[in-house]
Amino acid sequence: MDKQTILTGITTTGTPHLGNYAGAIKQAVRSSKKDDHDSFLFLADYHSLIKNKNPDEIKQSCLEVAATWIALGLDTKKTIFYRQSDIPEILELNWILSTFTAKGLMNRAHAYKSAVSDNEGSSDPDKGITMGLYSYPILMAADILMFKATHVPVGQDQVQHLEMTRDIAQRFNHKHGDIFVIPEAILEKNASVLPGLDGRKMSKSYNNFIPLFSSSDDLRRHVMKIKTDSLEPGVPKPIDCNLFEIFKAFASDDESTNFKQKLEEGISWGDAKEELFLLLDSHLSEPRKEYEKLIQDPANLNQELLTGAKRARELSVPFMSEVRSSLVIGKLD
């Protein structure tokens, strides 16, 4: 069996939070330590321009995200960890792929259709919609196809984009031979979706998130704000409560079983929140120290990303030459 190549993109829009850890970081970091596949992990800073064009915020977010992943144990010797914008071949491939992409395919993209729906009643259904948003799936395809990814971990909302990548690659291969590897989706069925402070999905959009590496005091303040019902101490608490959902994402099986028993026995919400805080603080204290050390040395973080980009370009430069040759671009003989 051929060795798998797994590629994961990380959005660079804001400070990482507990939901990011439970939803993607934990599994990806664990996977990065294995030897049974090649792993590529990149900061999608070009993609972030769709939502944020503030250069200072993008730069800071890249630093925070890179520091977070490394502090939580990403093995950058086994994983090629790079910044999207440090690989110029990706944008070249993006253009080439766009010439093989049907406009009708982009018209069906969920993000574009949602933006059009938001303009319902307007004289211009495309009001406020940029070409970046419209053609986002093509750039995602370039990210994936550039490094011959065989498998891409995706949430349910990203499955369509992976299918579009497959469609674009197959169109190209049909005309020019088997240049691109056709990737498969790894549906993240076991990834946790944590509730935020108000019970909705933890998200920066809802401003209901708990930052991963806030101080111990700030972490306690956030935990104490988690919404609960009004059940009195001594009354059994529901095990599907927000506190238990967050607790399970960080606890061992034994710790989860013990906390569940306390909920069923009627622990007060205040005491339950204190137990959650102590668990989180214990789990995050060492990574927090490492994160603070990394974030204070942006030059070192930048060098880490440039080292990853150098390794990535050892693959992307010759591959783009192969793509150009298949199109007879850059040849006069």
pLDDT band at 190 (very low <50, low <70, confident <90, very high): low
Pick from 16, 6, 103: nearest CA to 62: 16
Inter-residue contact 61 to 48 (CB < 8 Å): yes
Rg (the chain; Cα; Å): 22
Separation of alpha carbons 273 and 286, rounded Å: 21
Going by pLDDT thresholds of 50, 70 and 90, the confidence category of residue 205 is: confident
Whether 333 has a pLDDT exceeding 80, the answer reads no
- Dig out the tokens for 328 from the structure: 């007879």
How many residues make up the chain in this entry? 333
**pLDDT greater than 90 at residue 64:** yes
216-246 residue pLDDT tens: 999 999 999 999 999 999 999 999 999 999 9
On the question of a common fold for 4-193+298-327 and 216-293, the answer reads no
Q: Which CATH architecture has domain 216-293?
A: Orthogonal Bundle (1.10)
Q: Phi and psi for 123 in degrees, rounded to 5? A: -70, -20
The pLDDT tens digits of the residues spanning 78-98 come to 999 999 999 999 999 999 999
What is the mean pLDDT of the segment spanning 171-185?
Answer: 96
pLDDT at 212 over 90: yes
**First CA to last CA across the chain, in angstroms?**
40
CATH pick for 4-193+298-327 out of 3.40.50.620, 3.30.565.10, 3.40.50.12780, 3.40.50.2000 = 3.40.50.620
Do 224 and 278 form a contact (C-beta atoms < 8 A)?
A: no
The three-state secondary structure class of 130 is coil
Return the domain boundaries, the chain. 4-193+298-327, 216-293
Picking from 92, 113, 125, 67, the residue whose alpha carbon sits closest to that of residue 305 is: 67
DSSP label at residue 14:
S
Taking residues 265-274, report their average pLDDT: 97
Res. 125: pLDDT tops 90: yes
